[in-house]
Structure 1
């Protein structure tokens, strides 16, 4: 049997290539499977989605196609990706067709929190300034006019998706949840991160790693080690090495 599949949702505006380094950094017991949504990279020509439910509907066939032969999946997401990972975990657990081994949420308050930056509808410059001020991060490609024109539609759609999102508040998972933030993250504090405890009936852990809101952009290795440690606690001691 193959090892655990780490299904990974990036932050707003990003695509599967954000996880390119993760293949070489992950434990031998963990295969990384980035989710590719419309409006970016190989799916650039497709209109980006603006609702979490639509993004989950789009991601599920990808996950089911890749999960065959694996022991199960662990769902990971950062910021907007955390919400997508959670809602996807809820769907997979309800359908019971793909085993969910765990949920790892990063840089995000719990799903009941209103994720409103007040960015939707602003001019391009004001929009980018608002997002950068909130996250402490700006991709260098956004400073190139031609690239900015290409990247903005997906980023705007993702921010709108996050701002529109409202959790039903009724789904509680029976899988371990690990919540992680950058220790210097001024957008998501420890109390907001702790809100994720409400979504699970089993083990819940929180961890902080050096850096700000986008701590994982430059140094994903420590995060991957945390994920592997979390899965090892949930599985038999030799199962990740099979």
Structure 2
């Protein structure tokens, strides 16, 4: 079943609808080269407790004719404007790899604007800004870049076939890697919402310590959840991740009585 673009903005894709009864809505941000549809299995696992939507960056799927953005800040600016203008709260944010940084910056923009802040940030397979490693893969030739991407996913998905490698959206991937390489968070960059970091045991990029460093970037509670798998552990741990999300959102403080 395909995802559906929001009628008012190409930035938001609806994955699985849930009754609009005030239950939380999870907004997902993809990894480098990723697209909104990556989160459909998670959306199915979360339904109907949580409605899940995903951000669609330019340069992929139905937005492939658009030039990809090469800045985490630009991605966050555009996504924040789209979310604030189209989706009522309460919202929680879930970002995978690059998406963790974009989601973090979106949360900062909600707070800076004095808008209702997100309920929680889920930072999946992403180094905290204070320990972020700068990728260089975007500087390599196409064959080298494809080989590196295949190796990165091999622990979770198996090596990509020749056809899959040829189909990789290299311009979008290069732009996304360049965005991470250029990203510099303020030394004291923090959000005032809880942050749950999720990491795979065999992730070659993000260690348990890297995930734990997200606690430096919140003035609220920080937690780490570890799952078996590599950088794309989510491919095989959808139900465990869904349980983590549901549990964390169910534990949020109840609103004050009028």
Secondary structure at the aligned position of 2:139 is classed as: coil
Closer, same or farther in 2 for the Cα pair 1:186/1:60, shift >3 Å? Answer: same
Structure showing greater relative contact order (alpha-carbon pairs closer than 8 Å, 6 or more residues apart): 1
Query: 1:181-192 to 2 correspondence within 5 Å?
Result: 181-192=199-210
Deviations along 1:37-57, one digit per CA (max 9) or x if unpaired, are 100112111100001111111
Structure 1 unpaired stretches of 5+? 238-242
Q: Unpaired segments of 5 or more residues in structure 2? A: 1-20
- Alignment match, 1:108: 126
SS in structure 2 of the partner of residue 101 of structure 1: coil
Distance 1:139 1:40, change over 3 A: farther
- Alpha-carbon distance, 1:29 to partner: 3.2
- How many residues were matched structurally? 233
2:51 paired residue among 31, 49, 73: 31
What do residues 173-199 of structure 1 show as CA deviations (whole Å, max 9, x unaligned)?
Answer: 111110010122232111111110001
Query: TM-score under structure 1 normalisation?
Result: 0.88
Per the alignment, in what secondary structure is the counterpart of residue 98 of structure 1? coil
Task: Write the distance in 1 (CA, Å) between the matches of 2:65 and 2:81.
Answer: 19
The residue matched to 1:90 in structure 2 has which SS? helix
Contact 2:135–2:180 (CA<8 Å) still a contact in 1?
no
- What secondary structure does 2:223 align onto? strand
> Post-superposition shift, 1:210?
1.5
| Aligned residue runs from structure 1 range 126-205, under 5 A | 126-134=144-152, 136=154, 140=160, 143-144=163-164, 147-148=167-168, 151-205=169-223
Which residue number in structure 2 is paired with residue 60 of structure 1?
80
CA-CA distance at 1:135 after TM superposition: 5.2
Tell me which residue corresponds to 1:122.
140
Structure 2 distance, partners of 1:79, 1:159, is 11
Q: CA RMSD in A?
A: 2.1
Q: In 2, distance between residues paired with 1:23 and 1:227? A: 11
CA contact (8 A) 1:117 1:131 kept: no
Residues 22 and 135 (structure 1 numbering): CA distance in 2 closer, same or farther, change over 3 Å?
A: closer
